[in-house]
Amino acid sequence: MNVAIAIQEFFSNGQIGGAFYLESVATAVLAQIIYRRSNLSGRLKRPPEFLDPNLLKSALEYIRAHLSQELTLKQIAATVGFSPYHFARAFKVTTGLSPDQYVLQCRLELAQQLLQKQKRSLAQVAVDAGFGNHSHITSVFGRMLHTTPKRYRQEISSFLDYV
């Protein structure tokens, strides 16, 4: 308020350079507004929210225990009491993977173990690992491991025979 009174007095006394002074004050005021706004907006942005280690452990245990079943984001989020959106964001910040990517990675690892240790059919391995069918497991193996489940089983079998 004091600044406004000082500006009014300055102009009412007919000081030389009044317009220049007013422009300088206005520039300084605007600079402060921009500076404070930018700092304020930086403080208002929410920092990434990590999942509490115990909540993360619960979610991971739930995922691993239910790999052979259909898993939804809503189900997983409910195990830790989060909304699906909030859980997906926090999970990705914490693990670096989306929940879907993590589930797919776990299913792939389980399928690899089943192919190594057991003489089940590929269709049965697909179902047991949560892929649902032969086609889905084959496409995931191709995309992530650049091989087929059959070729993977042959390669790992010949490697184990060699060792």
- For residues 70 and 111, membership in a common domain is answered with no
Domain of 158, CATH number, reads 1.10.10.60
Q: Are residues 141 and 109 in the same domain?
A: yes
**Which pLDDT value is given to residue 44?**
47
The pLDDT value given to residue 158 = 78
133 & 155 share domain: yes
Residue 78's nearest CA partner among 63, 93, 98 is 63
63 and 30 assigned to the same domain: no
- Count the alpha carbons within 13 Å of 44 in the hemisphere toward its beta carbon: 6
pLDDT at residue 5 in the model: 62
* Tens-digit pLDDT profile for residues 90-144: 999 999 999 999 999 999 999 999 998 878 899 999 999 999 899 999 999 999 9
Structure confidence at residue 21 as a pLDDT band (50, 70, 90): very low
Residue 29 has pLDDT above 70, yes or no: no
Residue-range definition of the domain harbouring residue 70: 53-96
Short-list 132, 83, 90, CA closest to 111: 132
Distance of alpha carbon 91 from alpha carbon 100, whole angstroms: 10
Q: At what angle do helices 18-44 and 2-12 cross, to 10 degrees?
A: 160
Residue 163 is predicted with a pLDDT of: 59
**How confident is the model at residue 20, as a pLDDT?**
46
Give tens-digit pLDDT for 39-88. 555 554 555 588 899 999 999 999 999 999 999 999 999 999 999 999 99
Is the domain of 112 the same as that of 147? yes
User: What does pTM read for this prediction?
Assistant: 0.68
88 and 111, same domain (yes or no): no
Asked if residue 146 and residue 112 are part of one domain, the reply reads yes
Q: Do residues 111 and 156 both lie within one domain?
A: yes
Same domain for 73 and 120, yes or no, is no
CA pair distance 3, 35, nearest whole angstrom: 19
pLDDT at residue 50, rounded to an integer = 87
Domain total in the chain:
3
Q: Which amino acid does the sequence have at 4?
A: A
pLDDT of 16: 46
Is residue 88 domain-shared with residue 106, that is, in the same domain?
no
Whether residue 138 is found in the same domain as residue 158: yes
